[in-house]
Structure 1
Amino acid sequence: MKENMLEWMKLGNTTLPNALLTSYKLLNIDETELLLLIHVYSFTERGNSFPTPNEISSLMTINSTQCSDMLRRLIQKGLIEIQDGHSSDGIRFEKYSLDPLWDKLLDVFLQQKKAKDVMNQQTIETDVYTCFEQEFGRPLSPFECETLALWMDDDRHDPVIIKAALKEAVISGKLNFRYIDRILFEWKKNGIKTVEQAKNYGKRFRPHQQQTKNKQIERPENKTEPIPFYNWLEQ
């Protein structure tokens, strides 16, 4: 039993990228072609870089002729190629290369990632519009929608920061686009890039705002001029 286990371990393992298993159909190959490619890769990993159709088909449910035809199709599809090589003593030999397969697989992965990033960005932007409409209690006007788009596309404000500026405007009781635009301008000028930085920046003025409001309530209007609380638009 122990000897059988050692023999089994000597066969080694074949490690494949999961992207090959999840995206092979995007490379226009079927399951049988995929398995053939895996066998070619496995042979190469074990030191046989140019296995014959007989060697490959002996591990599959296809015969040697079918294996030859399939190898030819994979070469035509640009997923595998035959390269020339030379041994250390100068003997010329041929070998299979799967570099074209890995190149195409990487292209597919990058295309999928780009599409996913675009979808995520669209979701984030939609969420920003939804937050604004909820706070304003109405659909945004075309001009307001354009302003939001300019903040994200031209000014490169992070959507999270835009929502933080919206929240700051709500807290300050100044719910309008001009005020929010001024907040974003001040934050960018002062190097504020995170929500935490924005919170800390706003907290420096909020106590003063509350004290001002309290004083306005306590003092008669005809005796003392009210002290203006912090206003972003005046900066």
Structure 2
Amino acid sequence: MDKKKMAEWLSQGSFAIPKLLLNHYKHLGLSETEFVLLLHMHSFIEEGILFPTPAELAEKMTVTPSECMEMLRKLLQKGFISIEEHMDEREIRSEKYSLQPLWEKLVHYLYAESLKEEKQERQEEEESLYTVFEQEFGRPLSPFECETLSMWIDQDGHSPLIIKAALREAVLSGKLNFRYIDRILFEWKKNGIRTIEQAQNYGRKFRKHQQSTKSIRPVQNEYKQTIPFFNWLDS
């Protein structure tokens, strides 16, 4: 093989196909032929040919110029490409294709999918939350308790993870009731507690304070708590 010829081939370079577009062009409503046409258009634009003709595009594909013209018309109609005015260095006006609408459609689709995933994750977290409460209480939750859980999430804006952390605090304190958990959540929100780490640190500080307070009091009986707790209802 002629090494010089090989060097010429390699010097033609390459262009990157966005993996997100490759994975999701079907979800955008593009056919394989339309997808390949857009790739060729992208390639032409990167080479500096900003307004390739249907004949130039068709030459790269297995379609006729008229078929290519029809596809371009449909892509314009569906808002995947646009035609913009271009002015070169000599201030000569011309037209050029833009793939900006395609990238905007792709970003919009990915954003919508992200919202769907977040909603699904939130639903799963909430379902898990009800299960955890029923396991800790050892019984099904009453309608009032279910409504309270919903209010903590929807009205008070507590995340399921924070609510679970408050439930754990109530368990450690031996105060397993909704009024006590509600008080914990109220105190946390008032003090800007938003993450699990902040909640854990806050709880540890109160237990340490409780231990210090008890250590200076006279011992009135022989009973000793194995887990010191902070009485959130008395705060």
Structure 2 unaligned residues grouped into runs of 5+: none
Change (3 A) 1:202 1:91: closer
Residues matched between the structures, number? 225
**Identity across aligned pairs (percent)?**
55
- The residue aligned with 2:26 is 25
Change (3 A) 1:195 1:86: closer
Alignment of 1:35-184 (within 5 A): 35-184=36-185
Question: What is the TM-score with the length of structure 2 in the denominator?
Answer: 0.85
CA distance in 1 between counterparts of 2:67 and 2:200 reads 68
Q: C-alpha displacement at 1:150, in angstroms?
A: 1.2
Change (3 A) 1:124 1:61: same
Residue identity in the other structure for 2:37: L
Change (3 A) 1:196 1:216: farther
Q: C-alpha displacement at 1:138, in angstroms?
A: 1.7
1:179-235 CA distances to partner (integer Å, 9 max, x unpaired)?
1011111222233333233223323444647x69xx67627xxxxxxxx97422111
CA distance in 1 between counterparts of 2:85 and 2:199 reads 62
- The residue aligned with 1:232 is 232
CA distance in 2 between counterparts of 1:54 and 1:36 reads 12
CA RMSD of aligned residues (A): 2.5
- The residue aligned with 2:222 is 218
Alignment of 1:183-198 (within 5 A): 183-198=184-199
Residue identity in the other structure for 2:45: T
CA distance in 2 between counterparts of 1:230 and 1:24 reads 56
Q: C-alpha displacement at 1:95, in angstroms?
A: 1.4
Q: C-alpha displacement at 1:31, in angstroms?
A: 0.4
Residue identity in the other structure for 2:155: D
Q: C-alpha displacement at 1:176, in angstroms?
A: 0.6
Residue identity in the other structure for 1:104: K
Q: C-alpha displacement at 1:15, in angstroms?
A: 2.0
1:94-125 CA distances to partner (integer Å, 9 max, x unpaired)?
21111221222222122111111111111122
